[in-house]
Amino acid sequence: MRADSNTMNLVTERFFPTFPLARYELFSGNDVLAVQNYVSTIIARHQLSSSSLRPVGQFRHCEVDLGDVSLDTMSYEFENEDFVIDCPSVGNDYRFQITLNGNGLLAGRSSHVFGKDRLVMLQPHMHLKETLSPNYRHLMVKLKREALENTLESLLGHPLNKELRFRQELIDIQGPIYSLLNYVGLLCTEYDLDQTLYTSSRIRRSSSNLLLQLALSSLQHNYSDQLNAPPANLAPSYINQIKEYIQAHYRDEINLNELARFSGYSVRSIFYSFKKFLGVTPMQYLRDYRLAISRELLLNANCGNRTITEIALDCGFSSMSKFAGYYKEKYGELPSDTRRQTAL
């Protein structure tokens, strides 16, 4: 059951009593084209249009960058002006949008209204089209994809075997989401009060890690059932030994028979135990580990003189087409796209 609008207004005002992070302003302007060009550089290419040719008002953007997470407040302070944002792809990261003032209309297969009672969840590379009411303000929390996936893998205790996808684009604010908003509001308040916190890399890193974990715990996604399941029995020691063997020999050709010879257990027992305790088959674990190593190397500027083929072969992949296919399936982009990030 959704909370009524009066209750949600009080909740939002409690968490975000003023326009957050105003002292961290990066941009302000009143020209729609200039605003469009600016937002295109910090988020993704998009079209911004208003209900009149020369709207009167101001756009503001403020940001606190915590490393793996950033907090961005944006205001479209234009009287009597609706704005339409059309973004073909929101980029490679996850974001959720908290409405601070006004409301919007999210377009898709069907249109849905959102306001202070709902979060807007943006998945990597999704097409975003929304209409914002006059004087609309929101706080957008960006969660870097790689950091969020690494955090999830750490919480699960095994590599991801499919792309992380949140279950809804519009999320009613209720239950555990209050804890998430409370922490975001606390961060905004603390950074507004004391700029010295922002200069401490240790505090930024700790804040970022906790926010990533809260997002994964409170927002429903395709790994939520695993994440929230009661603690299972610990994996047998031989499973951990096989994991260590795979991590030490991932460059080599490895098959189930070799793992059986190494561990002294049958192929069937190994296969069953990996599925039961890690949620993946032994070969999926090996492939995911190889992909994780290859991604680290592709993102490492010191490996810029190595070709993608060299990195793939060094990580145990013999087929470049399969490597590219597995990589895109897991990370949502081709290896060449990742390599280009290191050149920016």
- pLDDT tens for 110-126 read 678 998 888 999 999 88
Whether residue 208 contacts residue 68, with contact meaning beta carbons closer than 8 Å, is answered with yes
**R_g over Cα of the chain:** 23
Task: Write a three-state SS string for 225-258.
Answer: HHHHCCCCCCCCHHHHHHHHHHHHHCCCCCCHHH
Helix (H, G, I), strand (E, B) or coil at 49: strand
**Is the pLDDT higher at 237 or at 94?**
94
- In sign, the C-alpha dihedral spanning 336, 325, 92, 185 is negative
Chain Cα centroid distance, residue 40: 19
- Tally helices (H) and strands (E) across the chain: 13, 12
**Half-sphere exposure of residue 189: CA atoms within 13 angstroms, side-chain side:** 11
Query: What pTM was computed for the model?
Result: 0.69
Rounded to an integer, what distance in angstroms lies between the CA atom of residue 258 and that of residue 295? 26
Average confidence (pLDDT) over 230-254: 86
What is the pLDDT confidence band of residue 233, given thresholds at 50, 70 and 90? low
Whether residue 142 contacts residue 121, with contact meaning beta carbons closer than 8 Å, is answered with no
Rounded to an integer, what distance in angstroms lies between the CA atom of residue 328 and that of residue 326? 6
What is the pLDDT confidence band of residue 216, given thresholds at 50, 70 and 90? very high
User: Does residue 2 register a pLDDT over 50?
Assistant: no
Rounded to an integer, what distance in angstroms lies between the CA atom of residue 196 and that of residue 200? 7
Choose the weakest-confidence range: 43-57, 61-75, 284-298, 329-343. Answer: 43-57
User: Does residue 311 register a pLDDT over 90?
Assistant: yes
pLDDT for position 220: 93
Rounded to an integer, what distance in angstroms lies between the CA atom of residue 127 and that of residue 140? 17
Phi then psi for residue 14, to 5 deg, are -65, -45
User: Does residue 176 register a pLDDT over 90?
Assistant: no
Q: To the nearest 10°, the Cα dihedral for 177, 180, 182, 187?
A: -160
